[in-house]
Amino acid sequence: MTIGFCRLELYLPAAASLKDRRQVARSMTARIRNKFNVAVAELGDDRQWRYLTIGICSLSNDSRHANEILSRVVSYVEESRDDIELLDYATEMIPGV
């Protein structure tokens, strides 16, 4: 078993309040969860409403499969919305679980 983890750092230039940030976060996490069948959580600081950190976790028997799923999630986030900028992401595989 392999656990694949990805951390996405997003910039929300159109967010004018914490309410806008929460709306984007809920929408994005629900879409990712439903489309890719992965665990998704909002991470990070709530006080900066223009920045959003999302954590995605995938469990698979094959590390290549887990990596492929996380790569597709990153591509989806980049292409899905024009009002979100992907600043950075990091992927980690934890083998032998």
What ranges do the domains of the chain cover? 2-95
Say which CATH architecture domain 2-95 belongs to.
2-Layer Sandwich (3.30)
CA end-to-end span of the chain, whole Å?
Answer: 5
Rounded to whole angstroms, how far apart are CA atoms 66 and 36? 11
Residue 34: C-alpha distances to residues 30, 37, 39, 68 (Å) = 6, 6, 10, 17
Mapped onto helix, strand or coil, the DSSP state of residue 52 is strand
State yes or no: pLDDT of 97 exceeds 70: no
39-43 mean pLDDT: 94
In sequence order, the β-bridge partners of residue 6 are: 56, 91
3-12 mean pLDDT: 95
Angle at 18 (CA atoms; ends 56, 92), nearest 5 degrees: 15
State yes or no: pLDDT of 12 exceeds 70: yes
Rounded to whole angstroms, how far apart are CA atoms 29 and 79? 15
CB 4 within 8 A of CB 60: yes
12-38 mean pLDDT: 92
